[in-house]
């Protein structure tokens, strides 16, 4: 399983959301907008096209980690590689062990393992963003819903376990957002962030 861990981490460490604004706008995404290395912040800096490229790159990391590891070492190795691709995304060695919040990479994992849950979460999050315009809130609630759906849809025990791990990890990565949400200070989608 150590191979799955290393593979997942290395794939996840590729910082698409850092590279896109660097190429398009010659800026370090960590120093502008929210400072987060993720597709939402890329949108703030580069617009929809740049954000789409970053989003696809980040989601492909989760997809690739699961598919490659599953084919080489089996289903559970695929889940392990998937989770470590999230860790690589959030703590990329290419960015001094910093990175994004893991939501899009987690989406890639779920898409491969259980497309029904992926579509359900996607619809839920789109609805939440459309209603509240707060991306972080939709991400946190989507993360909380993931293990619930895994249980309700009677997925494998391994996926249920890993869905809890992914959920807790995403929520942990949003701890600063949770603080801003509680204070009523969180940015809304389409609103420029100054801090």
Would the pTM of this model clear 0.75, i.e. be above it? yes
pLDDT digits (tens, 9 = 90+) for 147-169: 999 999 999 999 999 999 999 99
Phi/psi of residue 73, nearest 5 degrees: -130, 0
Question: Which tokens hold the place of 135?
Answer: 């991306």
**pLDDT surpassing 50 at residue 195:** no
Per-domain residue ranges of the chain? 2-183
Give 1-58 pLDDT, tens digit per residue: 899 999 999 999 999 999 999 999 999 999 888 788 888 889 888 988 999 999 999 9
Any bridge partners for residue 98, and if so which? 92
Longest dimension (CA), the chain: 47
Per residue in 11-21, pLDDT (tens digit) is 999 999 999 99
* 179, 184, 190, 195: CA torsion to nearest 10: -60
pLDDT at residue number 34: 79
Asked if 141 and 95 touch (Cβ cutoff 8 Å), the reply is no
Residues 6 or more apart whose CB falls under 8 angstroms from that of 46 comprise 20, 21, 24, 25, 54
The residue to which tokens 């289903």 are assigned: 75
Residue 111 has pLDDT above 80, yes or no: yes
- Dihedral over alpha carbons 99, 180, 55, 78 (to 10 degrees): 60
| Interatomic CA distance for residues 74 and 45, integer angstroms | 40
> For the chain, what is the mean pLDDT?
93
Cα 100 from Cα 31, distance rounded (Å): 13
Residue 192 has pLDDT above 80, yes or no: no
């Amino acid at each position: 399983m150590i191979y799955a861990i290393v593979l997942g981490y290395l794939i996840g460490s590729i910082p698409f959301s850092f590279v896109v604004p660097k190429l398009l706008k010659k800026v370090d995404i960590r120093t502008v907008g929210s400072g987060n290395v993720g597709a939402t912040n890329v949108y703030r800096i580069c617009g929809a096209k740049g954000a789409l490229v970053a989003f696809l790159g980040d989601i492909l990391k989760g997809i690739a980690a699961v598919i490659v590891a599953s084919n080489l070492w089996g289903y559970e190795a695929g889940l392990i590689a998937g989770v470590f691709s999230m860790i690589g995304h959030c703590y990329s060695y290419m960015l001094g062990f910093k990175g994004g919040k893991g939501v899009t990479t987690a989406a890639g994992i779920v898409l491969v393992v259980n497309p029904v849950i992926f579509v359900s979460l996607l619809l839920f999050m789109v609805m939440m963003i459309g209603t509240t315009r707060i991306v972080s809130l939709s991400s946190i609630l989507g993360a909380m819903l993931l293990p619930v759906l895994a249980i309700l849809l009677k997925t494998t025990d391994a996926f249920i376990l890993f869905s809890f791990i992914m959920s807790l990890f995403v929520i942990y990565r949003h701890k600063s957002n949770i603080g801003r949400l509680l204070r009523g200070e969180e940015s809304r989608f389409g609103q420029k962030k100054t801090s």
